[in-house]
Amino acid sequence: MNLFDLSLQLNGFPIKEASRVLKTIQNTSETNFEAYVEDKKREIIAYHLKNNPFYKSFANKVDLSDWNTIPILTKKDLQKPLEERLSKGFKKNAIYVNKTSGSSGDPFVFAKDKFSHALTWAVIQNRFGWHYLNFNSSKQARFYGIPLDKKGYYKERFKDKLSSRFRFSVFDLSDAAFEKHLKTFQSTPFDYINGYTSSIVQFAKFLLIKNCVLKDICPTLKACVVTSEMLFEDDKELMKKQFGVPVINEYGASELDLIAFENPNGKWQVNSETLFVEILDGHNNVLPYGEEGRIVITSLYNKAHPFIRYDIGDIGILSKDSTLKTPILEKLLGRTNDIAILPSGKKAAGLTFYYITKSIIGDDGKVKEFVIEQLKHDTFKIIYVSSESLSEEKKKIITAEMENYLEKGLQIKFEKQDQLIRSKSGKLKQFSSYIQNI
């Protein structure tokens, strides 16, 4: 057994067994897959109704023969002490416990039983294997945050060592930091890049200015995997060009699993092995493939903690080409709490503002990155990092385009900063609305 697998095994996560189970699921024929999913759905709901007092109280009117009677679980429902949410027989010191990032605005502590967590890693290893990347041997250039307290810092560094990865800080995106990164790539045989989208995009922009292709500097590089933040198509093309390798899009949630991963055909394939993913409308009705709605997910294996019909807080579309065994995520449209409410009462996805602004100021390379805040129903602020201030002409164009796409009478403010404030984890929230606090 290799070092990464060995570390999981030593910590009580049965990765060998999980890998065997995953292979069995994947070998299930399309014809028999519906029976597998239905069996796992019935099994997990029955288990938690019997063994989890919190969930039994929450879902007290369930008809086990009718999946649609199962209530939708939200993050707010889970914001109570973990001990009150654990299934019988599970103790905090004998399970996997972690905390969500809070990017949705509703952080909470969650748990997985050890087999469920091992299965998560088996799925991740399988998906990376689609692109000939091996967690036990492939060298990773990791663009993630890191705890700043001494204990947390050294714990992550130790995990990096075990996992054959080198961590680049996402809290310093200066040219000086990127110059040091470049020297590290020159001297280290990295196999792939993995990390937060926005930070890696900034590194690609730095390479563009230097007229440098990373694979020329680091010939061993095979791929770039981005996660945790929205990936825009033009950013993807920029990274492909400046890194000289394929760019792979990942979508996951720490409390659940890997949700979707770009397959070798360029499709965003949903994890149907350990999750059951539904798209629901505002009245909790299941929508057909091709229609936009809330992403609601059931974890089929986690017995320590219920995640059954769990509204993750994202909006998306499953492709019409989807099947039960191979669902395809056609589009991820952002978080349900990233909605802008305009003076007329009209609602718009917050990323609409980001798209509009990006198309205008992202073409000359002077603006490194930016975020948008809604301060009032009619007032938005664009905070940006740039080598020079936006011209009055560009400001007028942005304002006019926002009014053209949305509605008249919007007030757009601009604020130039030296750097953007990231969350403690290192993620960058591209749109935030503060009108609920006014």
Q: Which residues belong to CATH 3.30.300.30 in the chain?
A: 339-437
pLDDT digits (tens, 9 = 90+) for 224-268: 999 877 888 889 999 999 999 999 999 998 899 999 999 999 999
| SS3 (DSSP) at 301 | coil
- Of the candidates 408, 347, 348, 417, the residue with the CA atom closest to the CA atom of residue 382: 417
Q: Tell me, what's the pLDDT at 438?
A: 41
Give the homologous superfamily in CATH for domain 339-437: ANL, C-terminal domain (3.30.300.30)
**How far does the chain reach from its first CA to its final CA, in angstroms?**
56
- How many other C-beta atoms can be found within 10 angstroms of the C-beta atom of residue 211? 7
**For helices 197-209 and 233-243, angle between their N-to-C axes, nearest 10 degrees:** 50
Residue the block writes with tokens 């200015």: 209
List beta partners, residue 252: 258
Mind listing the pLDDT tens digit for each residue in 159-204?
Answer: 887 778 899 888 778 888 899 999 999 999 999 999 988 889 989 9
Residue ranges matching CATH 3.40.50.12780 in the chain: 3-335
- Say how far apart CA 145 and CA 143 lie, in whole Å: 7
CA distance linking residue 106 with residue 227, whole number of Å: 20
Would the pTM count as exceeding 0.85? no
What integer pLDDT is reported at residue 199 of this predicted model? Answer: 87
Confidence grade of residue 336 (pLDDT, cut at 50, 70, 90)? low
Distance CA 143, CA 146 (A): 10
The pair of structure tokens assigned to 319 is 């492709």
Q: What is the DSSP letter of 299?
A: E
Instruction: Find out whether 292 and 333 touch, Cβ atoms under 8 Å.
Output: yes
Q: Where are the alpha helices (DSSP H) in 106-149?
A: 114-129
Architecture, CATH, for domain 3-335 = 3-Layer(aba) Sandwich (3.40)
